[in-house]
Structure 1
Amino acid sequence: MTEYFYTNQQSIIYTVVIILVLWIFQFILKKAAQRVGRQSEIHITRTRLMFKYINILVIILAIFLLSITWGYNAQELSLIFSSIFAIIGVAMFAIWSILSNITAGIILFFSFPYKIGSRIKIHDKDLPIEAIIEDIKAFHLHLRTLDGELITYPNNLLLQKAVSLVEKEYHADEGKDAL
Structure 2
Amino acid sequence: MSTFFSDYKAELIYTAILVLILIIIRTIIVITVKRIGRRSGSTEARASLMGRYATVTLILLAILVEMIIWGVKIDEISVVFSSVFAVIGIGLFAIWSILSNVTSGIIMFFSFPYKVGDKIAIHDKDFPIKGIIEDIRAFQLHLRLDDGDLVTYPNNLILQKAVTLIEKDALDDTSIL
Normalization by structure 1: what TM-score? 0.94
Distance 1:119 1:156 in 2: 19
Specify the alignment match of 2:62 in structure 1: 62
In the comparison of the two structures, how many residue pairs are matched? 176
Structure 1: 5+ residue runs without aligned partners? none
Specify the alignment match of 1:37 in structure 2: 37
The 5 A counterparts of 1:7-46 are 7-46=7-46
* Structure 2 counterpart SS, 1:160: coil
Could you tell me how far 1:172 is from its partner in structure 2?
6.2
Q: Partner letter of residue 146 of structure 1?
A: D
Distance 1:26 1:69 in 2: 20
Could you tell me how far 1:175 is from its partner in structure 2?
3.5
Detail structure 1 runs of 4+ shifted over 4 Å in the superposition. none
Distance 1:81 1:105 in 2: 27
Q: 1:66 to 1:155 in 2, by over 3 A?
A: same
* Structure 2 counterpart SS, 1:152: strand
Could you tell me how far 1:173 is from its partner in structure 2?
5.4
Q: Partner letter of residue 148 of structure 1?
A: G
Specify the alignment match of 1:85 in structure 2: 85
Could you tell me how far 1:3 is from its partner in structure 2?
2.0
Specify the alignment match of 2:76 in structure 1: 76
Could you tell me how far 1:138 is from its partner in structure 2?
0.5
The 5 A counterparts of 1:124-135 are 124-135=124-135
Q: Partner letter of residue 2 of structure 2?
A: T
Q: Partner letter of residue 55 of structure 1?
A: T
Q: 1:77 to 1:47 in 2, by over 3 A?
A: same
Is 1:2 equivalent to 2:36 in the alignment? no
Distance 2:175 2:59 in 1: 49
What fraction of aligned residue pairs are identical, expressed as a percent? 52
Cα deviation, 1:54-102, whole Å, max 9, x if unaligned, reads 1110110111111111121111112111211111111111111111111
Structure 2: 5+ residue runs without aligned partners? none
